[in-house]
Structure 1
Amino acid sequence: MHHPGPPRFATVGESVELAPRQPDPGMAAEWRLVERPAASTATLGDGPVCHLEPDVPGVYRAELIVPDGTHEQVIRAFPGVTETARFSVTADDFDGDELTVADRAIVIGTFNDFTMGTHWAERDGDEWVIEADLPPGTHHAIFSFDGSFESTATDEVTVEGPGRPRVELTSQAEDGDFVVSADARAAPSGSEPEVEFYLDGRDALEESAVTIDGDELRVPHEALPEMARVHAVAVAERHSVADTLVVERGGENGETGTGETVSVSRPADPPAWAGDATIYEIFVRSFAGETVDTTFEAIERRVPYIESLGVDVVWLTPVQASPTRHGYHITDFFDTAEDLGTREEFESLVDRLHDAGIRVVFDLVINHSSRDHPAFQLHRAGVPEYADYYERIPVSQDVSDVDWAGTDAPGYYFNWTRIPNLNYDSLAVRRWMLDVVDEWRDVVDGFRCDVAWGVPHGFWKEVRERVKADDPEFLLLDETVPRDAAFAENEFDVHYDTDLFDTLRDIGTGEEPASVLFEALDATAEHGYPDRAGHMRYVDNHDEDRYLDECGAASLQAAVGATFTLPGTPMVYAGQERGVEQQRGTMRWHDGDNALTDFHRRLVALRADHAALRVPGVCPVAHTVETGDADRVVAYERTDGDETLVVVLHFGDGTAKVSLDTIDEETDLLSGNPVGGDGTVEVGDIVVVPATRER
């Protein structure tokens, strides 16, 4: 079925891509805008993939005419909440020894999707200044005088204003009706929201059969079709991420009151296992050691080590054909890299990990290809069939030093001239990338989706329904940097937590006190992430300098301890536990830090043994630092109702003595060692103790 999917929610001025699902590259497809608010002049362009940019708040309705019929797509546009922000830098802010200044500087940030050549800062005296209309939150802009970005400067601004509200749907049978209730919660700094319900154009549930009263939607049981999807958003100053219920007749969950039952599911929720898991990221080509080439077979022979760590998931950086060590410049999406091994050898590795009870997450790279991919070569060489496979920008916008063939240039992010962006306005590309998804989804247990923020939301929604239809336990992990709650709307299960990552770095370098850790956690609600969304907590990954290198050994174990004792899914980047200091350095097998490795093993085991460390909710604990730097200490409580634990982290050198009135026992559950007495604990990096004293 080519129906374009669920209702879409956006702000005025935000472009919404509209596309038929299950595309055939040669299919006929036509869009028509059949309804728009009275004051709107918005239009849809030609082509099977269109973009609607709402110009006033309200409901827009578009029709898609395709071979299997005419389908309706609803787009609800809300007012945008923005403020003009000013970014500025001086020549002294730039890094690098040699700097050639100019009257204009290239500027990239989330406001232009990190695309160079679209925004320029003009010189104003000793400053280079640019203004942008931005929503509430903290924003960064990166400045450079050339396309290489070898020398850059960064500015940060905070736009005050409300966060996004949240909404969660529940259901029940009542007096022969099926009732959906919406629990709408205000943003931390926002007003109380109202609720808007929307039906799904793919279903036979008629609007005339539905009664809506405030935060409640009611349908007579006899009016329910075989399947119905109900969507809702909370609306205050800003709108929430939508929540969704899928209702199917004849299921086993939830009495209707008429003798027949319905099944109710929550398609946006992550699989339950993800919240209990620990992820282990392997940068593939550095894993086997100094003198041994890493292959699938070499990794398979080292599975006993991975198993000994107690982790539940292995995320492998790209294993497809690529001319690069890191693998993100893919030249064949359907085959493994020759230097790593055959497809059969890859599947043998997956089977071996499965035998050890470890799931495998595959690095799915579908925002771009290598510019050495045959498709891109044919595209630039003017082969008609490939004319629309990649993004095209005016050559005047290109700031690289590449002499591109033709009268335009490819689209790309940052200074990534070797990995041009695919064009998702092409049905052929959408079909191609869906085939890539199909190629690997039955082999592995999940996808970590590279540059997820560069691929259209509508496509990710289709991918989610596609992979979850056969395997609801399949994991989708997004790389959205910085984090963006929009990707939690029926798209991804687990999200990079860049707020906690950055905060742990700031604490580690001494720029911020340890207590700001709570602000990073509060940011999750401020962004508007649903309560059920998963978050990956980490201190290292392959794209960042190692925490050990940037912050030093004194605070590393406290930072790692935070990722394992706060809510979310902890991730260990291979080598982190062995004392590797280089971002993509070779795994230290013979000369690694065994004590640090054992520390990670104990953290994994502690989290697995204590449900209190895996549930939502963190409560700061009052404490007094008797000796040591109080700014380097933070304490909090974790409870699942049956057990309450107190976690104390110390990010400084040596040992801090900390008194708390919430504990009686002074045996550290992590090390098994006594840590003090009479409500006082001595903490080098982290202690975890039961809270047994009544307060």
Structure 2
Amino acid sequence: MHHPGPPRFATVGEPVELAPRTPDPDAAFRWRLIDSPDESTAALPNDPVVHLDADVPGVYVAELDAPDGTHRVTVRVFPDPRQPARFTVAADEVDADLDDVESASVIGAFNDFTMGTNRVERDGDEWSADALLPPGDHEAIFAFDDEFDPYATADVTVEGPGRPRIRLHGRDDGEQVRIEATARPTPDGTDPTVEFYFDDRDALAAEDAEIDGHTMYLDRAALPELSRIHAVAVSDDPHPEREGETVERASIADIIEIHADEEVAFSHPGDAPDWLEDATMYQIFVREFAGETVDTTFREIERRVPYIESLGIDVVWFTPICESPTPHGYHITDFFDTATDLGTREEFESLVESLREAGISVIFDLVINHTSRDHPAFQLHRSGVAEYEDYYERVPATQDATAIDWAGDDAPGIYFNWAKIPNLNYDSLAVRSWMLDVIDEWAGVVDGFRCDVAWGVPHGFWKEVRERVKSETDDFLLLDETVPRDVRFRENEFDYHYDTDLYDTLRDIGTGDAPAAALFDALVEADRHGFPDEAVHMRYVENHDETRYATECDDGTLRPAAAATFTLPGVPMIYYGQERGVEDQRGTMRWHDGDDDLTDFHRRLVALRDDHPALRSNDVSKVSVEVESGDADATADAESVIAYRRVDDTESLLVVLNFDSSPARVSLGVDCETEDLLSGVDAATGAGAETAEDACVEVTDVVVLRER
């Protein structure tokens, strides 16, 4: 079916990509805009893939003529929340000689990290770039003379409300079905209103429904076999700078499915599988896993499955295993076969089965934003083969920042300075069909995809991917690489998300640039972004793109940082070698000379989280503690210690983290048992004390206590 999918929700200034699903590149498709606000002058071009650039808020309806009929899709556009902001970098803030540097490319999430689109000239000893940004914290990278050596970063905060949140609930009252919305304001925001929308693919009509505030009432007898209801929460909060004006912010949409047969059932297709929140993940940088003297192959990894199992891992993520000329594998030259040096397709499938037999799911690194520059498709594209003309993005030569003399009078679209991995063009039906074939090729082999550069692929395509892979099993996992994290990818697209806020905060704590209490600020950021409570976040301290935590941060901070990822809600992820003391970002796994104590520490973290459901709940609350003063060289700094409570229906636990290299003597004032559940030893330091309320506990890195 070519229907373009569910209703879409966006803001003015945020073009919405619309495309037929399961496209036939040789078929004819035609779009037209059949409804729009009176003040709008927006239009759609005569292309199979279009971008609706709405100029005023309101409801737009687009219609697609396709070989299987005519399809409509509703697009709700809200006011533009962006405000003018300026990034500035001064020469004395950069540890380099910039006397001869006159310009810089400025990149960030606001321009999809695309070099050459925002260039600024030097003004005295400063470089400044203006941008329109929504409320929140933003970072920009200044690449001087279009190079990353040297470079500098600048931060800016735009005041204003975050996004509200919404959750839909269904009830069957016999004659009526009720869809009730729980709408929650952004932190410090006003109570939102609710807007409901039907799915244009369904037979349910407006006359079959009645809306009263936050509730939709449906005639049970009129329900088709499947109905999908979408809703957004909309808040209208005071403008932070202009008195008397307000800022309208909308949540991402929630969707509830109504399955009407003899009984009525409800489901949330945008939610992750329930078991995911109980899982521990392990990332393997494939070609460095077997060790120093053995080349890593699928067979060699399979021989080491017992080690992965011994850690208590539930999900393994492999970096790319397709044919590629690079050790990291992200420059793919063949999407449909395994890399020659790693082994055959059959050997990879044997590895997958061995992991499954150990109770471990396998995540495949899906790289579909780009190909290698050495992929035949790109070579045919650049050499003028007509069939491949639209396979890759093209940008004006004036925007190119690579210093490469590209064939032709334009250049390929790339992100950052990634000149060897040109971006695919998702305005091409041939590319969309090709990438859907890639997804079909591997979805039946593995248990999920980690989607590389997810922010570089259109939202509409990810929504199609989700419905495609989930049609076989709801347990198939989708993890987005979106840096910084973006709540829009939660809207019926991905199951779990990189938590870049916690990652950055743990790094700042580990380097001494932030107190331990900053961890709570990072947790609140999820609410400000508009992530619903049901969203699942991947908590991590390092991965293949980042310097190792213990290498960058102060001694003694890796263990409490890792413990934070295991004692907060979400999916903790261990990057291979994190538990063995590997120092290099993509270093060889340390088998014979690894840190056994650190490995045992991680095993105990996994087991602790498995044994105590409270550590997997969503309930986190701050606990005030006192750190005893003493010898400055032998006692932890109070700002390096943090405590929080984790609660579920069965127990209440207290987690205390110490990011100082010296032990901390901590007075809790809470009625707790004194046995540390992680180490199994008594943490009390007061003679004869039976509870932590009566005595101090000693915290070297982390203790977890059961509250009475």
TM-score tier by shorter-chain length is over 0.9
Identity %: 64
Query: What residue is the counterpart of 1:659 in the other structure?
Result: 667
Paired residue secondary structure (1:589): coil
Query: What residue is the counterpart of 1:31 in the other structure?
Result: 31
Query: What residue is the counterpart of 2:86 in the other structure?
Result: 86
Query: What residue is the counterpart of 1:462 in the other structure?
Result: 464
**Selected match of 1:243 from 231, 246, 254:** 254
Paired residue secondary structure (1:111): helix
Paired residue secondary structure (2:150): coil
Conserved 8 A contact 1:105-1:143: yes
Query: What residue is the counterpart of 2:231 in the other structure?
Result: 232
Query: What residue is the counterpart of 2:358 in the other structure?
Result: 356
Amino acid at match of 2:705: V
CA shift, 1:175, in A, is 5.3
Conserved 8 A contact 2:174-2:220: no
Conserved 8 A contact 2:120-2:128: yes
State the distance in 1 between where 2:617 and 2:478 align. 20
Paired residue secondary structure (1:396): helix
Conserved 8 A contact 1:164-1:528: yes
Q: What pairs up with 1:544-623 in 2 under 5 angstroms?
A: 544-623=546-625
- 676-685 or 44-53, which deviates more: 676-685
CA shift, 1:200, in A, is 0.4
CA shift, 1:663, in A, is 2.9
Amino acid at match of 1:685: D
Paired residue secondary structure (2:43): coil
Paired residue secondary structure (2:203): coil
State the distance in 1 between where 2:381 and 2:673 align. 68
Paired residue secondary structure (1:71): strand
Conserved 8 A contact 1:163-1:189: no
Query: Gapped runs of 5+ residues in structure 2?
Result: 236-247, 630-635
CA shift, 1:150, in A, is 2.1
**Selected match of 2:639 from 628, 631, 649:** 631
Query: What residue is the counterpart of 1:40 in the other structure?
Result: 40
| Structure 2 CA distance for partners of 1:679 and 1:45, relative to 1, 3 Å | farther
Conserved 8 A contact 1:91-1:101: no
Conserved 8 A contact 1:101-1:145: no
Conserved 8 A contact 2:85-2:131: yes
Amino acid at match of 2:476: F
Paired residue secondary structure (1:503): helix
| Structure 2 CA distance for partners of 1:634 and 1:592, relative to 1, 3 Å | same
Conserved 8 A contact 1:30-1:65: yes
Query: What residue is the counterpart of 2:161 in the other structure?
Result: 162
State the distance in 2 between where 1:184 and 1:312 align. 34
Paired residue secondary structure (2:353): helix
CA shift, 1:120, in A, is 1.5
State the distance in 1 between where 2:536 and 2:546 align. 22
Query: What residue is the counterpart of 1:688 in the other structure?
Result: 704
CA shift, 1:103, in A, is 2.9
Conserved 8 A contact 1:464-1:491: yes
State the distance in 2 between where 1:353 and 1:328 align. 23
Amino acid at match of 1:145: F
Q: TM-score, normalised on structure 2?
A: 0.95
State the distance in 1 between where 2:314 and 2:40 align. 51
| Residue 519 (1) aligns with residue 521 (2) | yes
Amino acid at match of 2:200: G
Paired residue secondary structure (1:225): coil
Q: What pairs up with 1:210-221 in 2 under 5 angstroms?
A: 210-221=209-220
Conserved 8 A contact 2:322-2:337: yes
Amino acid at match of 1:133: L
State the distance in 2 between where 1:486 and 1:79 align. 16
| Residue 437 (1) aligns with residue 439 (2) | yes
State the distance in 2 between where 1:504 and 1:620 align. 17
Query: What residue is the counterpart of 2:243 in the other structure?
Result: none
State the distance in 2 between where 1:589 and 1:99 align. 44
Q: What pairs up with 1:295-310 in 2 under 5 angstroms?
A: 295-310=297-312
Paired residue secondary structure (2:139): strand
CA shift, 1:99, in A, is 4.3
CA shift, 1:124, in A, is 2.1
Conserved 8 A contact 2:136-2:160: yes
Deviations, residues 516-550 of structure 1 (Å, cap 9, x unaligned): 10000000010001111110000010000000100
**Selected match of 2:509 from 504, 507, 510:** 507
Query: Gapped runs of 5+ residues in structure 1?
Result: 251-259
Amino acid at match of 1:190: G
CA shift, 1:146, in A, is 2.6
Amino acid at match of 2:584: Q
Amino acid at match of 2:341: D
State the distance in 1 between where 2:673 and 2:267 align. 43
Query: What residue is the counterpart of 1:668 in the other structure?
Result: 676
Amino acid at match of 2:131: A
State the distance in 1 between where 2:149 and 2:273 align. 41
State the distance in 1 between where 2:166 and 2:18 align. 25
Amino acid at match of 2:667: S
Query: What residue is the counterpart of 2:633 in the other structure?
Result: none
Q: How many residues align?
A: 682
| Structure 2 CA distance for partners of 1:555 and 1:323, relative to 1, 3 Å | same
CA shift, 1:664, in A, is 3.2
Amino acid at match of 2:697: V
| Structure 2 CA distance for partners of 1:27 and 1:679, relative to 1, 3 Å | farther
Deviations, residues 375-406 of structure 1 (Å, cap 9, x unaligned): 00000000000000000000111011111001
Query: What residue is the counterpart of 2:239 in the other structure?
Result: none
| Structure 2 CA distance for partners of 1:100 and 1:461, relative to 1, 3 Å | farther
State the distance in 2 between where 1:389 and 1:94 align. 39
CA shift, 1:100, in A, is 6.0
Deviations, residues 446-488 of structure 1 (Å, cap 9, x unaligned): 0000000000000000000000011100000000000000000
Amino acid at match of 1:425: D
Conserved 8 A contact 1:663-1:689: no
State the distance in 2 between where 1:108 and 1:691 align. 48
Amino acid at match of 2:639: D
Query: What residue is the counterpart of 1:136 in the other structure?
Result: 135
Paired residue secondary structure (1:473): coil
Query: What residue is the counterpart of 2:102 in the other structure?
Result: 103
Query: What residue is the counterpart of 1:112 in the other structure?
Result: 111
State the distance in 2 between where 1:346 and 1:219 align. 50
State the distance in 1 between where 2:143 and 2:433 align. 37
Paired residue secondary structure (1:131): strand
State the distance in 1 between where 2:421 and 2:669 align. 56
C-alpha RMSD of matched pairs (Å) = 1.0
Query: What residue is the counterpart of 1:255 in the other structure?
Result: none
CA shift, 1:95, in A, is 4.2
CA shift, 1:196, in A, is 0.3
State the distance in 2 between where 1:200 and 1:143 align. 43
State the distance in 2 between where 1:450 and 1:147 align. 24
Paired residue secondary structure (2:579): helix
Paired residue secondary structure (1:549): helix
Q: TM-score, normalised on structure 1?
A: 0.97
Amino acid at match of 1:619: S
State the distance in 2 between where 1:582 and 1:621 align. 36
State the distance in 1 between where 2:372 and 2:146 align. 19
Conserved 8 A contact 2:5-2:201: yes
Conserved 8 A contact 1:483-1:496: yes
State the distance in 1 between where 2:492 and 2:106 align. 32
| Residue 277 (1) aligns with residue 288 (2) | no
Conserved 8 A contact 1:538-1:560: yes
Amino acid at match of 1:372: D
Deviations, residues 157-195 of structure 1 (Å, cap 9, x unaligned): 111110100000001122511110000000003211100
State the distance in 1 between where 2:188 and 2:453 align. 30
Query: What residue is the counterpart of 1:486 in the other structure?
Result: 488
